[in-house]
């Protein structure tokens, strides 16, 4: 069994948010003591109907048990947002704590819920990271298939392909259609394909809107749906002025390379070292690894990217409170030379206090023109992304 990095405080009620398939239910059933936990699974049709019709039933159940449970675990709580009003009341009036899992905060925000105004701490669960898998981690597998926990149970490539394809279909059916996050699924389906093809690039909202036949504001809302359902992350451009940062176009990264490859129908294509596609998926993997570790370790870092008018770019800018800003270039090469770090070297001169890193597959650690060129796993350690 893989030990997950997420570690909620048992002294308080808490949320665990994560995309479908990241292992929230599995984790919480092992994290909580079953002898003192009452579980309510809102994916169960009967439970969903019962609590949808009468959210107050939760209070009746909680107070009618002979021994008050330490925790009530409500799985996929966003399916009945009104339950959080009852949860709020029970937190205030009893000693019961709540473990609340969900794959989307969007529906909670749209409904009557206010995420309990700090009464329940928020945690996030991601696909399996290299840090969690340890000796079971294999880079090429991570790039090809991603890190959803179910894949550990599957041995054959065809099984993995079938799972990832069905995952995409299930997401569309359960998250988008059943939760009524969009009115018309057809343009969203088109959008998902275009968004996957442009993942990792600066978003051109108007161009994508023309491709799928919707208004640019609709395209913006679609990207927000993906972020709210934890299927990806918007990475804002770096600027010292927050106002300017918000006005510029972000990049978007899907949360998992396997899901991304399933959407663009690349699952049967071989990933060859040295190709553009290999470099693209390596960048996605490494950024997702950083984002996940940061969420688990909670170092209060701020992430962005930097690009200039002449096309020079820094893949990731990490603002670290009380420390120099970290400028990170990601390369999938096995050998790094001065040509690979020229943009990073030149742009780093514009920062008053910054450390420059190039993370790659090169097994040797060297310093080139003031840039620390490190094997990617060691680089994450140097940056503090270790438990």
Q: Are residues 50 and 151 in the same domain?
A: no
What's residue 186's pLDDT? 81
What digits encode the pLDDT tens for the residues 82-93?
999 999 999 999
With a CB cutoff of 8 Å and minimum separation 6, the contacts of 245 are 236, 237, 238, 239, 304
Domain contains 294: no
CATH number of domain containing 274: 1.10.10
The total domain count for the chain is: 3
Name the nearest CA neighbour of 125 among 41, 26, 40. 26
Residue 23 structural domain: 13-124
Domain contains 2: no
Beta bridge partners of residue 123, listed in sequence order: 16
Q: Are residues 207 and 324 in the same domain?
A: no
Name the nearest CA neighbour of 169 among 284, 16, 21. 21
What's residue 277's pLDDT? 94
What is the mean pLDDT for each group of 10 consecutive residues in the chain (387 residues)? 93 94 96 95 95 95 84 93 92 94 73 67 96 95 97 96 93 66 79 93 95 92 88 90 67 96 94 94 98 93 89 91 95 95 91 94 95 96 88
Query: If you search the block for the tokens 């359960």, which residue do you land on?
Result: 174
> From the DSSP assignment, how many helices (H) and strands (E) are in the chain?
16, 13
What's residue 179's pLDDT? 57
Q: Are residues 181 and 266 in the same domain?
A: yes
What's residue 68's pLDDT? 80
Q: Are residues 313 and 177 in the same domain?
A: no
What's residue 171's pLDDT? 77
State the DSSP H helix or E strand holding residue 97, giving kind and residue range, or none if neither: strand 97-102
Q: Are residues 145 and 262 in the same domain?
A: yes
Phi and psi at 58, nearest 5°, equal -60, -45
- Look at the pTM and tell me if it is higher than 0.85: yes
How far apart, in whole angstroms, are the C-alpha atoms of residue 50 and residue 118?
27
Name the nearest CA neighbour of 77 among 107, 110, 119, 121. 107
CATH number of domain containing 115: 3.40.50.300
């Amino acid at each position: 069994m893989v030990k997950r990095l997420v570690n909620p405080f048992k002294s308080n009620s808490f949320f665990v948010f994560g995309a479908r398939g990241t292992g929230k239910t599995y984790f919480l059933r092992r994290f909580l003591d079953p002898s003192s936990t009452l579980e309510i699974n809102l994916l169960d049709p009967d439970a969903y109907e019962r609590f949808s019709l009468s959210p107050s039933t939760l209070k009746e159940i909680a107070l009618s048990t002979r021994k008050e449970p330490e925790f009530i675990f409500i799985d996929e709580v966003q399916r009945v947002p009104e339950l959080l009003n009852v949860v709020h009341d029970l937190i205030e009036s009893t000693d019961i704590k709540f473990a609340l899992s969900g794959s989307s905060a969007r529906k909670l925000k749209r409904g009557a819920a206010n995420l309990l105004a700090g009464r329940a701490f928020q945690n996030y669960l991601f696909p399996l990271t290299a840090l969690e898998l340890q000796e079971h981690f294999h880079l090429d597998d991570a790039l090809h298939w991603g890190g959803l926990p179910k894949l550990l149970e599957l041995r054959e490539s065809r099984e993995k392909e079938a799972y990832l394809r069905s995952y995409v279909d299930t997401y569309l059916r359960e998250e988008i259609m059943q939760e009524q996050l969009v009115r018309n699924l057809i343009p969203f389906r088109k959008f998902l394909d275009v968004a996957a093809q442009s993942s990792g690039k600066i978003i051109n909202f108007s161009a994508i809107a023309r491709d799928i036949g919707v208004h640019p504001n609709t395209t913006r809302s679609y990207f927000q749906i993906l972020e709210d359902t934890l299927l990806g992350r918007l990475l804002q451009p770096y600027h010292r002025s927050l106002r300017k940062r918000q006005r510029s176009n972000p990049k978007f990264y899907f949360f998992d390379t396997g899901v991304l490859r399933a959407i663009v129908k690349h699952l049967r294509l071989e990933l060859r070292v040295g190709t553009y596609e290999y470099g693209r998926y390596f960048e996605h993997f490494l950024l997702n690894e950083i984002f996940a570790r940061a969420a688990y370790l909670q170092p209060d870092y701020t992430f962005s990217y930097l690009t200039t008018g002449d096309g020079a770019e820094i893949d990731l800018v990490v603002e670290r409170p009380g420390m120099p800003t970290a400028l990170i270039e990601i390369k999938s090469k096995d050998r790094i030379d001065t040509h690979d770090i020229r943009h990073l070297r030149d742009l780093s001169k514009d920062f008053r206090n910054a450390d420059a890193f190039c993370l790659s597959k090169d097994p040797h650690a060297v310093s080139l023109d003031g840039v620390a060129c490190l094997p990617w796993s060691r680089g994450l350690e140097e940056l503090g992304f270790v438990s």
